[in-house]
């Protein structure tokens, strides 16, 4: 019984024959109320099926017990968050956040006009923000971070960056991947990815450095723009193949792009790793299962997510947490030939 109308705290107070103040304090386990009475009130509230109205609580306390997770997608707007990498990151973040007793609000940004981030921040819907991927919003992030502290970004560490970020050493990871290909004797290495994205441009930097260190001249024809979706990446790879440009290896800036490239190569009758070696980035779960299994630069998402959330909570507590960089690891599988040559 008594589960008809939505119960308010005043109702519980009436039931327990005390004031609202006392109920509020009792439910909050405030030691101002003697322990036995606290228990009693909690029991009465639970029995009546009473639950604190979070809207009211949030307003009064000026906190929501909620963390917003944002995927800017300044590029690829309106798309489903489909890349397994993002998805896994989201899952891990959700785990870390809920473990700490907070809720997760997914913010899909559909309107990236001037001030989009400020609009999210000022809505006060969340106590802190995780931004997954800088997209092309570096400047907006810098600006927002100036006055809003509880904010951590997953992405590369860029020049003139004032916000707190957590990310893999993109340059180093790419460098290691390309070095590996070079070690296998590959010389015409194609680069697939969108240079407009900061993280990708860092990977490009690693690619360039590896080539330079090996004394190999880089060929602009080998740098191909490719989005994160399977279809567009497949298309990009197909064009590379049909262009007639010679190449003996592909460094793809995400596993999805790598897998799409392998399919495109197979469709064109080219053997992987016989004719072309392929390396991906992220080391998502499917990488190990594909045919052939994919060599990839592994990002430790579990650790990344934990670091992000740790830093965020520090910042929410007013401390000033610094950015962090994770070390990538090259996982060698069959897609690039020799099991561990080089």
φ, ψ for residue 109, nearest 5 deg: -85, 115
Q: Which residues pair with 251 in a beta bridge?
A: 191, 279
- Least CB distance to a copy of itself at residue 31 (A): 24
Residue 147 lies near DNA (rule: CB under 7 A): no
Picked from a copy of itself, DNA, none, the partner binding residue 162 (CB below 5 to 8 A depending on kind) is none
> For a copy of itself, what does the binding mask look like between residues 129 and 158, x meaning CB under 8 A?
------------------x-----------
Is 299 among the residues that bind a copy of itself (CB under 8 A)?
no
| CA distances in angstroms from 10 to 44, 47, 64, 145, 277, listed in the order given | 13, 15, 22, 41, 70
Of these, 2, 10, 28, 87, which contacts a copy of itself (CB under 8 A)?
Answer: 87
Q: Which of 28, 266, 270, 286 binds a copy of itself (CB under 8 A)?
A: 286
Asked if 162 touches a copy of itself (CB under 8 A), the answer is: no
Interface mask (CB under 7 A) for DNA, residues 16-35, using x and -? --xxxxx-xx-xx---xxx-
49 sits near a copy of itself (criterion: CB under 8 A) = yes
CA distance 301 to 93: 9
Q: Which of 1, 17, 36, 55 binds a copy of itself (CB under 8 A)?
A: 55
Q: Which residues is 168 bridged to in the sheet?
A: 326
62 cis-preceded (ω within 30 degrees of 0): no
- C-alpha radius of gyration, the chain, whole number: 26
Q: Is 103 in the site for a copy of itself (CB under 8 A)?
A: yes
Indicate whether 62 belongs to the interface with DNA (CB under 7 A). Answer: yes
Phi, psi of 227 (to 5 degrees): -75, 180
What's the CA gap between 141 and 136, in Å, rounded? 10
Q: Which helix (H) or strand (E) holds 105?
A: strand 103-108
Residue number with CB closer to a copy of itself (48 or 216): 48
Is 116 a binding residue for a copy of itself by CB under 8 A? The answer is no
CB atoms within 10 A of CB 143: 16
Site membership for a copy of itself, residue 327 (CB under 8 A): no
Between the two ends of the chain, the Cα-to-Cα distance in Å is 73
Alpha helices in the chain (DSSP H): 9-16, 20-27, 35-48, 54-61, 84-99, 116-122, 138-147, 170-183, 198-213, 230-243, 255-267, 301-316
Could you say whether residue 108 binds a copy of itself (CB under 8 A)? yes
Among 11, 15, 112, 115, binds a copy of itself (CB under 8 A): 115
Footprint of DNA (CB under 7 A): 6, 8-10, 18-22, 24-25, 27-28, 32-34, 37, 52-53, 55-57, 59-62
Footprint of a copy of itself (CB under 8 A): 3-4, 6-7, 46, 49-56, 58-59, 62, 64, 66, 80-82, 84, 87, 91-92, 94-95, 98, 103-108, 110, 115, 118-119, 121-125, 147, 230, 259, 263, 285-286, 289-291
């Amino acid at each position: 019984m008594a589960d008809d109308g939505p119960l308010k705290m005043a109702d519980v107070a009436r039931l327990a024959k005390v004031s609202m103040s006392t109920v509020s304090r009792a439910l909050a386990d405030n030691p101002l109320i003697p322990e036995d009475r606290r228990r009693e009130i909690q029991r009465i509230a639970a029995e009546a099926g009473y639950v604190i109205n979070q809207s009211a609580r949030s307003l009064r306390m000026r906190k929501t017990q909620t963390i917003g997770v944002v995927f800017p997608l300044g590029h690829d707007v309106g798309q489903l968050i489909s890349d397994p990498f993002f998805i896994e990151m989201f899952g891990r973040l959700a785990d870390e956040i809920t473990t700490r007793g907070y809720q997760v609000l997914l913010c899909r940004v559909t309107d990236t006009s001037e001030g989009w981030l400020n609009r999210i921040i000022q809505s006060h819907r969340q106590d802190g923000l995780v931004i997954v991927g800088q997209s092309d919003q570096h400047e907006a992030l810098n600006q927002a971070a100036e006055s809003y502290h509880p904010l951590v970004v997953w992405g590369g560490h860029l020049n003139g960056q004032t916000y707190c970020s957590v990310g893999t050493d993109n340059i180093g990871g790419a460098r290691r991947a390309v070095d590996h290909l070079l070690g296998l004797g590959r010389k015409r290495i194609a680069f697939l990815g969108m240079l407009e994205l900061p993280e990708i441009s860092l990977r490009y930097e690693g690619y360039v450095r590896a080539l330079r260190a090996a004394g190999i001249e880089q060929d602009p024809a080998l740098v191909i723009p490719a989005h994160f979706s399977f279809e567009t990446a497949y298309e990009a790879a197909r064009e590379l193949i049909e262009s007639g440009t010679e190449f003996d290896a592909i460094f793809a800036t995400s596993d999805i792009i790598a897998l799409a490239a392998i399919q495109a190569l197979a469709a064109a009758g080219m053997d992987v790793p016989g004719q072309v070696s392929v390396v991906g980035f992220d080391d998502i779960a499917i990488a190990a299962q594909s045919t052939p299994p994919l060599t990839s630069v592994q990002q430790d998402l579990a650790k990344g997510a934990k670091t992000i959330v740790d830093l965020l909570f520090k910042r929410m507590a007013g401390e000033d947490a610094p950015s962090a960089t994770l070390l990538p690891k090259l996982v060698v599988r069959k897609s690039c030939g020799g099991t561990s040559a080089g």
